[in-house]
A and B are shown apart, each in its own frame.
Chain A
C-alpha cells in the first residue's frame, strides 16, 4: 500500500521534471533567440513526429525505421549476450581459459565501438553484417565482464557445501555457479541492451538506407533539424522502454536476490 503511494509520487516527480525540461526548451528556442533560429521547439518536433507515423521519411515511416533498427540491435545484442555469457562463465570457471583469453579481452575492451567501423566494413562489407558487428562490439564486453565477475564471486562456502554433498564439478557449475551468477548476468544484459541501442546510430552510419540512425545522419545531410530531433527522441524513448523491459524480466527471474523483508 505504502509502496504504491511511493511509486505514484515518484512518477509524478518524474513527469514534473520532464515538463520543466520542455518549458526550458520552449523558452530557449523562442522566436528571436540565436538558438531559436537553429533549433525547432518541442511542439514542432512533436508535430513532425506525429507526421512521420503516417508519412514516409525516405523509404519508410518512423515505424519501419524503428523496426529495422530494433532488428539490428536485437541480432547484435543476442549474439553479444550469448557469446558474452559463455566467455564470462568460461573465464570465471576455468583458470586455463582465464589465463589464455583474459589478456586479449582486456586489450579489446577499451576500444570504443566507433573505432571498429572501418574494420567492420572491411570484414563484413557494407550490408547488414557490419552493422550487426558494431552493435555486437558495443554489447559484448559489458556482458562478458559482468558474467565473469559473477562467476568469480561465487561464495566458496556454497561450493564447499555442494562438494561435501557429493556434487560433481559439472553439477557444481550448473547448480551453483550459474544460478549465483544470474544477477550479474542481468546487470550485464541491462547495460548491454542500452549501449547496443545507443550504438545504432554508429552502426547505421555504415551506408544504410533506413533505420533511426539513418534518419539522423540523413537529417544532418539535408540540414533538417526536426528530423534529427525526432530521431533522437525516438532513440531515447525506445532505449528507455528496452531497459525497463529488461528490468522487469530481471525482477521476475532474480526475485531471490531482491526480496528483503516480507
Chain B
C-alpha cells in the first residue's frame, strides 16, 4: 500500500476496563485535507483524538502516518486542546517558541518563525505578556500560533473554540482556514458544533454514541469562502444534523 494517505486509521479500538469506547474505527485522511469529526456530546471524541495522538494507549488496531506507526519524536504532530494549554511561566513568545526549541531548530529560524506566527495571529504586541494577563481568545490564538509554528504534518484540534463566544469563533475560524491554506497541513478537527464543521471542513465524519463507530462520511465541496446563509450550506448542515440527532 503506497502512502497515498497522510493518516490511516485501521480498526482503532479503545477500552477503559470493561467500557468499550471506540469500536473498530477505520478511516483515512489525505494530505492537506481538512477533516471534521462530529458526534454527540460524550461520544468519545476526545478519547478518539487522544488515542490518535498516542496520549492514550490503544487497545487494538493501528494508526499510521505516511504509512508508518505514529512516533511523536519523528512525526511532526501538533495538538490544540479544548483548554488553552499555554505554559503559565513562559511569555507568549516563549510559548510559541516552545515546540521549536523541543525540535532543536536553529536560533535564527526559531526567531523568524515565531515572529511570523505571532504576527499571523495578531499577538506581536503582546509577545512579552504572561498567559494570565491575556484574554481567552488571545490565549487560544497563542496556542494556535504555537501549533502552526512547528509546521506540523498533522494538526489535531479538539473543540478549540468550544468556550469562545460566537463572534470570536467566527474570527478564529477564518484565521484557521487562512493559516491552513498558507502553511498546508493535514487537519483533524473535532467539534460538536455542526455549523462549525460544515464551515471549516473538506469532509465530515459523523460518529455514533458509545461505543463509538463511524456513522457516516460526508464530503463537503462547498466553495470557499463559505456563507452560512447559503441554501447549499444550510442543506448540508441539516443533513449532518439529521444524522446526529442527540436531542
Give the residue name and chain of the B residue nearest to A164 (CB).
Answer: B79
Given the contacts A165-B99, A165-B102, A166-B73, A160 and B85 also touching, CB distance less than 8 Å: yes
**B78 and A256 contacting across the interface, CB-CB below 8 Å:** no
**B133 and A171 contacting across the interface, CB-CB below 8 Å:** no
Pick from B78, B89, B129, B150: contact of A180, CB under 8 Å: B89
B20 contacts partner chain A, Cβ-Cβ < 8 Å: no
B23 contacts partner chain A, Cβ-Cβ < 8 Å: no
For chain A, which range describes its interface: under 10, 10 to 19, 20 to 34, or 35 or more residues?
20 to 34
B5 contacts partner chain A, Cβ-Cβ < 8 Å: no
B2 contacts partner chain A, Cβ-Cβ < 8 Å: no
What mask results when residues 175 to 192 of chain A are scored 1 for a CB within 8 Å of chain B, else 0?
110011010000000000
What mask results when residues 104 to 140 of chain B are scored 1 for a CB within 8 Å of chain A, else 0?
0000000000000000000000000111110000000
Write out the residue numbers on chain A whose beta carbons fall within 8 Å of the beta carbon of B132: 256-257, 259-260
Write out the residue numbers on chain B whose beta carbons fall within 8 Å of the beta carbon of A259: 130, 132-133
Give the residue name and chain of the A residue nearest to B101 (CB).
Answer: A175
Pick from B78, B83, B156: contact of A157, CB under 8 Å: B83
Write out the residue numbers on chain B whose beta carbons fall within 8 Å of the beta carbon of A94: none
A150-207 interface with B by 8 A CB criterion: 155, 157-158, 160-168, 171, 175-176, 179-180, 182
Given the contacts A176-B87, A182-B89, A255 and B130 also touching, CB distance less than 8 Å: yes
**A257 and B89 contacting across the interface, CB-CB below 8 Å:** yes
Given the contacts A165-B103, A167-B102, A171-B102, A157 and B85 also touching, CB distance less than 8 Å: yes
Write out the residue numbers on chain B whose beta carbons fall within 8 Å of the beta carbon of A254: 89
Interface core residue of A161, A175, A176, A256 (most chain B CB under 10 Å) = A161
**A256 and B130 contacting across the interface, CB-CB below 8 Å:** yes
B72 contacts partner chain A, Cβ-Cβ < 8 Å: yes
Taken together as a complex, chains A and B put the C-alpha atoms of A232 and B76 apart, in Å, by 63
Pick from B72, B88, B130, B131: contact of A164, CB under 8 Å: B72
B30-67 interface with A by 8 A CB criterion: 50, 53-55
Write out the residue numbers on chain A whose beta carbons fall within 8 Å of the beta carbon of B150: 165
A7 contacts partner chain B, Cβ-Cβ < 8 Å: no
Write out the residue numbers on chain B whose beta carbons fall within 8 Å of the beta carbon of A162: 98, 102
State the Cβ distance, A176 to closest chain B Cβ, in Å: 7
**A166 and B103 contacting across the interface, CB-CB below 8 Å:** yes
Given the contacts A256-B88, A262-B133, A163 and B55 also touching, CB distance less than 8 Å: yes
Interface positions of B (Cβ within 8 A of A): 50, 53-55, 72-73, 76-79, 81, 83, 85, 87-90, 98-99, 102-103, 129-133, 150, 156
Given contacts A164-B77, A165-B99, A180-B87, 8 further A-B contacts (CB under 8 A): A157-B83, A158-B87, A160-B79, A161-B81, A165-B102, A257-B88, A257-B89, A260-B133
Ordered by A's residue number, 7 sampled pairs between the chains whose C-beta atoms are within 8 Å are A161-B79, A162-B102, A163-B72, A164-B79, A166-B103, A256-B89, A256-B90
